[in-house]
Amino acid sequence: MELGRRALGLDGRGGGPAVATILHGDELEGRGLDATETTQLHRIRLFGATGTVLMGVGALGAGAQPVLQNPVQGLRVLGLPARMPSAALTLTMTGTVLVVLAWLLLGRFAVGRRDPDGVPRRLSRSQLDRTLLLWILPLTVAPPMFSKDVYSYLAQSEIAARGLDPYGIGPAGALGVDHVLTRTVPNIWRDTPAPYGPAILWLGQRITDLTGENIVAGVFLHRVTALAGVALIVWALPRLARRCGVASVSALWLGAANPLLLFHLVAGIHNEALMLGLMLAGLELALRGIYTADPAAPLRGRALGWLLAGSAVIALSSMVKVPSLLALGFVGMALAHRWGGTLRAVVAAAALLAVVAVAVVGAVSWGSGLGFGWTQTLGTATEVRSWMSIPTLLGLGTGLAGVLLGLGDHTTAILSLTRPVAALIAALVTVRMMLAVLTGRLHPVGALGVSLGAIVLLFPVVQPWYLLWAVIPLAAWATRPIFRLPTVAFSSLVSVILMPNGGEYQPFIIVQAAIATVVVVGLAIFATRNRLPWRDEDDTPPRPADSPGAYAGTS
């Protein structure tokens, strides 16, 4: 019994406070930049914009172009990158590195530099918004990059538009292997039912009604949907950051301006953009209802309206992808803490939010005409063996060791052991975080981010953009170097190692492009050595101070 209480953090010796102490400290919004820094910021903005323009031009030949209906194929100028694969890949890789470097340079002004009185100087919210918009614009008109999933979205939407069940049949079976939309779907997904919620398929069905089999128009409207999700992230993230006592621009820099978001949610058109945008917006609305009213007063009127609206938006986000429903659990624990933190309060909060969730899920499932088939395809992604997944990596590594030692390939058997153990650990972390919120020792935003981080790392399949599930919420709460430095390093590394075509190139093409990229980027750094702040000659900002708001539900 005592061991269980200790594992769940209920023994009063660690748990929530330890997590908050390690990861969180309050930040000041700070002053604006001085004249020299403002000039440097303008140059950094142009440096990053140059990178996204190069990416967009290179994607005409190196992007995830459709097999059929390629709009630039055969054109004299726009079709040239496709006939020069090494040059196109070099352009895209060079642009990718330039954007990552610009993001790192921008971080100095987002995290802040301190004045002699200890107050940090940060760029303003409008300066960051203009920078982000300038970097995003070239990617909105570029071909898809880093993934071909958008073509699966188009095919699954066409299946739904025909009145067939996208949860029961894949593109090849429903549309035929020679259909224009099936041809560009990766082979591994051609016979696979849709693993997404009915909300995103219903939205895709409306897009199909407008575009038919026009791939370019369909891709563009799906990107508009992704941009709507990014806009929701940009709206919610600074508000959540201020709620947690974190500088809004530092949260936006690490979360919304992160190259993973630019490359995979904007350029890659993944539906995580809408899932995360709705989840964060719903979380902000729900917490607004819980924390704006007098804690001693009954929850009614406008506060109750915010809570119900936010909970409904979170439930809607789960109809894009189910993992976001976890946010509703942390809203429930925050509500139960407001109501006294007793078992009765937990049951009451769970009952209220369950009614909201069931109503939204039922309305979307029945209203879309797609039913509840999505509950049968949640494990579709596990067909992929991802090296970024800890349990999968352990299984693959152990299986390879067995082959090398002559013991046979036991990868499948080991995966059947490592994956359930990892799922159990992730569940334990999540329960512990929920109890920390219930007892008022951890802010729900931080607890949600930690839980999603555990789930992502221990999930059977981890794609690079899955990291944003945890990085974006944690950007609004976690300020310590122990979180920010590894997050920045890993985001930068993952952003530059993936191929822009969503597949693989011949090794010699990659080597040629990599060498050319190193040379070009080196020359760019040399040319801007006196114009961009490559060397930081200023002091670092003070370490965020501990505060009671780091632990409590309010800040």
- Opening angle at CA 489, ends 486 and 493, nearest 5: 135
Mean pLDDT within 96-110:
94
Q: Residue count of the chain, please give it.
A: 555
Look at residue 536 in the predicted model and tell me its pLDDT.
66
Mean pLDDT within 191-205:
90
Look at residue 318 in the predicted model and tell me its pLDDT.
93
Q: Is 302 exposed, middle or buried (0-12, 13-18, 19+ CB in 10 A)?
A: exposed
The larger pLDDT score, comparing residue 285 to residue 392, is at: 285
Separation between Cα atoms, residue 480 and residue 112, nearest integer Å: 14
Mean pLDDT within 66-82:
78
Separation between Cα atoms, residue 128 and residue 5, nearest integer Å: 45
467 closest CA partner among 498, 503, 491: 491
pLDDT tens digits for range 441-482: 899 999 999 999 999 888 877 788 889 999 999 999 998 999
Look at residue 70 in the predicted model and tell me its pLDDT.
80
Mean pLDDT within 101-107:
95
Q: With contact defined as beta carbons under 8 Å apart, do 88 and 501 qualify?
A: no
**Mean pLDDT lowest among 73-82, 203-212, 345-354:** 73-82
Cα distances from 147 to residues 231, 337, 463, 531, in angstroms, run: 21, 42, 10, 35
pLDDT tens digits for range 163-187: 888 888 888 888 888 888 888 888 8
Separation between Cα atoms, residue 206 and residue 219, nearest integer Å: 13
Look at residue 103 in the predicted model and tell me its pLDDT.
96
The larger pLDDT score, comparing residue 384 to residue 107, is at: 107
Confidence of residue 555 (pLDDT cuts 50, 70, 90): very low
Cα distances from 84 to residues 52, 80, 81, 331, 498, in angstroms, run: 19, 7, 5, 52, 19
Tell me the angle at which helices 16-23 and 481-497 cross, rounded to the nearest 10 degrees. 70
Look at residue 552 in the predicted model and tell me its pLDDT.
42
Please report how many Cα atoms fall inside a 13 Å half-sphere around the Cα of residue 427, on the Cβ side. 6
236 closest CA partner among 302, 293, 280: 280
Whether 374 has a pLDDT exceeding 60, the answer reads yes
- Opening angle at CA 112, ends 110 and 114, nearest 5: 170
Please report how many Cα atoms fall inside a 13 Å half-sphere around the Cα of residue 358, on the Cβ side. 6
**Mean pLDDT lowest among 95-109, 335-349, 365-379:** 365-379
Highest averaged pLDDT of the listed ranges 218-222, 388-392, 536-540: 218-222
* Beta-ladder partners of 121: 31, 113
**Mean pLDDT lowest among 11-15, 85-89, 153-157, 408-412:** 11-15
Look at residue 121 in the predicted model and tell me its pLDDT.
85
Q: Secondary structure of 40-93 in the HEC alphabet?
A: HHHHHHHHHHHHHHHHHHHHHHHCCCCCCCCCCCCCCCCCCHHHCHHHHHHHHH
Confidence of residue 384 (pLDDT cuts 50, 70, 90): low
Amino acid at 96: T
Q: Tokens 């579709």 identify what position?
A: 380
Give me the chain's average pLDDT, please: 85
Local structure of residue 121 (DSSP, 8 states): E
pLDDT tens digits for range 115-144: 676 678 888 999 999 999 999 999 999 999
Mean pLDDT within 102-106:
95
Separation between Cα atoms, residue 375 and residue 365, nearest integer Å: 11
Whether 15 has a pLDDT exceeding 50, the answer reads no
Look at residue 547 in the predicted model and tell me its pLDDT.
44
Whether 538 has a pLDDT exceeding 80, the answer reads no
CA 546 to chain centre: 28
Separation between Cα atoms, residue 103 and residue 278, nearest integer Å: 25
Whether 501 has a pLDDT exceeding 50, the answer reads yes
**Mean pLDDT lowest among 13-22, 95-104, 274-283:** 13-22
Mean pLDDT within 200-226:
92
Whether 14 has a pLDDT exceeding 60, the answer reads no
Whether 324 has a pLDDT exceeding 70, the answer reads yes
The larger pLDDT score, comparing residue 389 to residue 495, is at: 495
Q: Does an H or E element contain 257, and which?
A: none
Mean pLDDT within 40-51:
94
Confidence of residue 381 (pLDDT cuts 50, 70, 90): low
Separation between Cα atoms, residue 389 and residue 18, nearest integer Å: 26
For 542, the 3-state DSSP assignment is coil
Whether 85 has a pLDDT exceeding 90, the answer reads no
Separation between Cα atoms, residue 97 and residue 445, nearest integer Å: 31
Look at residue 517 in the predicted model and tell me its pLDDT.
92
Q: Secondary structure of 375-426 in the HEC alphabet?
A: HHCCCHHHHCCCCCCHHHHHHHHHHHHHHHCCCCCCHHHHHHHHHHHHHHHH
Look at residue 553 in the predicted model and tell me its pLDDT.
43
Sign of CA dihedral 27, 485, 258, 102: positive
Q: Secondary structure of 124-148 in the HEC alphabet?
A: CHHHHHHHHHHHHHHHHCCCCCCCC
Q: With contact defined as beta carbons under 8 Å apart, do 551 and 442 qualify?
A: yes
Highest averaged pLDDT of the listed ranges 22-26, 351-355, 369-373, 462-466: 351-355
Look at residue 237 in the predicted model and tell me its pLDDT.
95
Whether 330 has a pLDDT exceeding 90, the answer reads yes
Separation between Cα atoms, residue 310 and residue 300, nearest integer Å: 15
Separation between Cα atoms, residue 411 and residue 108, nearest integer Å: 44
Look at residue 320 in the predicted model and tell me its pLDDT.
93
Mean pLDDT within 499-526:
86
Look at residue 184 in the predicted model and tell me its pLDDT.
86
